[in-house]
Amino acid sequence: MSTFLAPAGRYAPSPSGDLHFGNLRTAVLAWLFARQTGRHFYLRVEDIDSERSSAESAQRQIADLEALGLDFDPPVLYQHERGTAYAQALDQLDTYECYCTRRDIREAASAPHAQPGMYPGTCRDLTEKQRALRRSELAAQGRLPAIRLRAHATEWTVQDYYRGEFTGPVDDVILKRGGRTDQAQAGDWAYNLAVVVDDGYQGVDQVVRGDDLLASAPAQAYLADQLGLVQPIYIHVPLVVGPEGRRLAKRDGAVTLRELLAEQTAGEVVADIAGSLGYAGVSSVAELLERFDPSLLSHDPWMWTHH
């Protein structure tokens, strides 16, 4: 049974490193949108990728967000503990095994008439005999097949706060990743399934995230529909970019909060975030909450110029 109260917003970082200025800006925006609309606000630790995630990184991220003054409604949700819920969701969906390697998919995607970034359906309509053969070939290599959604729609429409109706393609997304038979674990669950199941579980009906994820929203909303869950309203916000116009990253210098705090106070970092949103002179998230007008947020990427 869920312990969460709807409606809600959330911030859901992957604990694979310290949060940088762009991550922090998006977190502040997610908090502002949730709190201004009277929603609960949850922190979710998206740590299903066991190879990249660490408990230490998760704790550092939580501490960084709190240092900026952000508050979260309890409890914090950890995806690595949610394997049973993902398995139950998987049982509700129309799925099939996929035996393709990354190379198989790359080669199929480069074929004439292939849709860029879309799974071409290589394993969708295999016969049982073909499946048995591919399954045995994988088993001999000590590998498990991936599990894909058998989508019954080619596109889906979502509602985005800034873009209105947005219609995008839907394909047979991976729900559970393949892997070695001796290494199968909760970390094999795929992001697309986990994020939808957890949003439903937490009563999240408002999703604020970077606009580089807009293209994935239709497939996730379709998956929510197939699971009988409420489709959230999306708010895709502009990214922070480095001097070369690419998404902010370590290559752009001292960009994490830990690095910034070597030269600034947390209040000064908040002031920089507020300034990037158009509110110069604001140095606390409480004051920013009072002044924030979402209709005035620039739709353009914000250029990182800190030295």
Interatomic CA distance for residues 127 and 103, integer angstroms: 22
- Contact status, residue 96 vs residue 149, Cβ threshold 8 Å: no
Return the DSSP state at 247. B
Residue 11 assigned as binding residue:
yes
- Contact status, residue 160 vs residue 294, Cβ threshold 8 Å: no
Alpha-carbon dihedral of residues 62, 161, 232, 172, nearest 10 degrees? -100
Residue 209 assigned as binding residue:
yes
Residue 290 assigned as binding residue:
no
Alpha-carbon dihedral of residues 104, 214, 186, 59, nearest 10 degrees? 130
Interatomic CA distance for residues 16 and 53, integer angstroms: 5
Residue 134 assigned as binding residue:
no
Residue 124 assigned as binding residue:
no
Residue 78 assigned as binding residue:
no
Residue 283 assigned as binding residue:
no
- Contact status, residue 43 vs residue 10, Cβ threshold 8 Å: yes
Pull the structure tokens for residue 69: 């003054």
Residue 119 assigned as binding residue:
yes
Residue 27 assigned as binding residue:
no
Residue 97 assigned as binding residue:
no
Residue 161 assigned as binding residue:
no
Residue 250 assigned as binding residue:
yes
Cα–Cα nearest to 107, from 99, 97, 119: 119
Positive or negative, the CA dihedral 251, 256, 259, 265 is positive
Residue 12 assigned as binding residue:
yes
Task: Return all residues near 31 (Cβ < 8 A) that are at least 6 apart.
Answer: 9, 11, 41, 70, 71, 285
Q: N- to C-terminal Cα distance for the chain?
A: 48
- Contact status, residue 107 vs residue 213, Cβ threshold 8 Å: no
Cα–Cα nearest to 241, from 297, 160, 300: 300
Binding residue ranges: 10-14, 46, 98, 100, 119, 123, 191, 209, 250
User: Which residues line the annotated binding site for Zn(2+)?
Assistant: 98, 100, 119, 123
Binding site residue list for ATP: 250
**Known binding-site positions for L-glutamate:** 10-14, 46, 191, 209
